[in-house]
Amino acid sequence: MKTIDDFNFANRKVLLRVDFNVPLNKDYSISDDARILAAIPTIQKIRKEGGSVILMSHLGRPKTGPEEKYSLIHIVKHLSNLLDCDVKFAPDCIGSEASALSSSLEAKDVLLLENLRFYPEEEKGDLEFSKKLAALGDFYVNDAFGTAHRAHASTAVIAQFFSGNKCFGYVMAKEIANAEKVMNNFERPFTAIMGGAKVSDKLLIIESLMEKVDTMIIGGGMAYTFFKAMGGNIGKSLVEEDRVQLCKEIIQKAKDNNIQLLLPHDSITSNAFSNDAVIGEADNMQIPEDMMGLDIGAMARKTFFDAIVKSKTVLWNGPMGVFEMSNFENGTKAVALAVAEATEKGAFSLVGGGDSAAAVAKFGFEDRVSYVSTGGGALLEYFEGKALPGISAINEE
Ligand code: AMP
């Protein structure tokens, strides 16, 4: 894996793909700058050695072209403060002005290009578009893990124009190293914890992880399709009828391969999807008709906790319940605590892929797990065993 530590950037003009897709308030101020902060070490390493940096990113989901609310100009001031330099801005990511600005860059200068997704060519992975971007620099660094699973112009296609002159930035390098450790260098017992709303989103990752783990824990809304598959009465709980058969197959596969498949024995139930409804507890094979399971119950919390703390490797993706509502947060909290305790006892724990990262942050466990990934879909696809275009494009010569 080639990283920016393998190169010296003196006099180089580095095209750096970052993920500056930050949330903006109504007045266009930045409400969470974590993604910008994450990219600073990579930018500064290049500048320190006397290189100049051309930053490329997307922001939001513009539909047909430029939209004020998705302009990267809103982050120029904050970025300038963080880097302690005047960041230049190209109001079009390609074209004569971007070229002129790029040509005028001196050592340590930073140029931010306007939102790449103002061109539909970006997401289409258009070759001509990526060629125009490539012409702006003489070295390519990818530091945007969140889009590594997309074969977009700036994340993958562009890399072919930089043979021998391309590498990963620090964010990408860290994400890949941690994911790699869990995927290929894990210690046993290895426990995967899968949660979240829909089993259909997680089937591929469950199947892929079944090849590796000792224990597979399944919680959250997706667990009820498994109980349906076992002939349970799940009341009004979330279910995906068209996935019942696949859940049966997973249960069988776990038996055949001697994998401990832990499903939640019980649930905290509610008569409505609300924090202010009638709340109960039920065995997951016998949830009353008018109730739905919105969190794992006390027995499941204990079983899951005991399995997790014994593990040496833990991968956690997806909450155990509707953790956004206080009445249904205890299952996710218990799992977060178990992952933290396992980590304190020497386990390597990776949390990521969307809402579980948010849950860990909400309950204050961020510093008590080994690594919280910034990647949602990218992390999922990595553990599904797919090659991520953003990674392959750097590794190919
Ligand atoms: P995902 O994005 O698939 O990881 O799903 C995360 C979402 O699943 C969160 O917003 C949770 O509120 C939701 N969720 C978790 N458990 C349940 C459940 N038992 N019923 C409905 N939604 C749930």
Q: How far apart are the first and last CA of the chain?
A: 12
Q: Compute the distance from residue 251 Cα to the ligand 1 centre, in Å.
A: 21
Amino acid 355: pLDDT: 83
For the chain, percent helix, then strand, then coil, each to nearest 5? 45, 15, 40
377 part of the active site: yes
Beta bridge partners of 292: 270
- Give CA torsion, residues 71, 120, 150, 109, to 10 deg: -40
Amino acid 121: pLDDT: 97
Amino acid 302: pLDDT: 98
Half-sphere exposure of 145 (CA within 13 A, CB side): 26
Q: Which of 35, 47, 132, 202 is catalytic?
A: 35
Amino acid 41: pLDDT: 98
Ligand 1 contacts CB of residue 362 (under 6 A): no
Q: Whose CA is nearest to atom 10 of ligand 1?
A: 322
Amino acid 66: pLDDT: 96
Q: Compute the distance from residue 155 Cα to the ligand 1 centre, in Å.
A: 30
**How remote is the C-alpha of 155 from its chain's centroid?**
16
Half-sphere exposure of 3 (CA within 13 A, CB side): 15
Q: Compute the distance from residue 193 Cα to the ligand 1 centre, in Å.
A: 14
Cβ-based neighbours of 37, under 8 Å, separated by 6 or more: 82
Ligand 1 contacts CB of residue 221 (under 6 A): yes
Ligand 1 contacts CB of residue 123 (under 6 A): no
CA 4 – CA 198 distance, rounded (Å): 38
Whether 214 contacts 188, CB under 8 Å:
yes
Candidate from 322, 327, 333, 351 with most ligand 1 atoms within 8 A of CB, to mutate = 322
CA 315 – CA 2 distance, rounded (Å): 26
Amino acid 37: pLDDT: 95
Whether 130 contacts 91, CB under 8 Å:
no
Amino acid 163: pLDDT: 96
- Which atom of ligand 1 is the closest one to the Cα of 318? 4
Ligand 1 contacts CB of residue 331 (under 6 A): no
Amino acid 227: pLDDT: 98
Q: Compute the distance from residue 220 Cα to the ligand 1 centre, in Å.
A: 6
Domains and CATH numbers, the chain: 4-171 (3.40.50.1260), 186-383 (3.40.50.1260)
Q: What is the pTM of this model?
A: 0.92
Q: Compute the distance from residue 198 Cα to the ligand 1 centre, in Å.
A: 7
CA 368 – CA 12 distance, rounded (Å): 39
Q: Whose CA is nearest to atom 12 of ligand 1?
A: 322
333 part of the active site: no
In the chain (397 residues long), the average pLDDT of successive 10-residue segments reads 97 97 94 93 98 98 94 98 98 98 98 98 98 98 96 98 98 96 96 94 93 97 98 98 97 96 98 97 98 98 98 97 97 97 98 85 93 90 95 93
Beta bridge partners of 112: 55, 89
For the record, the structure tokens of 389 come out as: 């275009």
Q: Compute the distance from residue 219 Cα to the ligand 1 centre, in Å.
A: 9
354 part of the active site: yes
35 part of the active site: yes
- Which atom of ligand 1 is the closest one to the Cα of 220? 16
CA 296 – CA 283 distance, rounded (Å): 10
Whether 322 contacts 355, CB under 8 Å:
no
For the record, the structure tokens of 299 come out as: 């027995």
Amino acid 345: pLDDT: 98
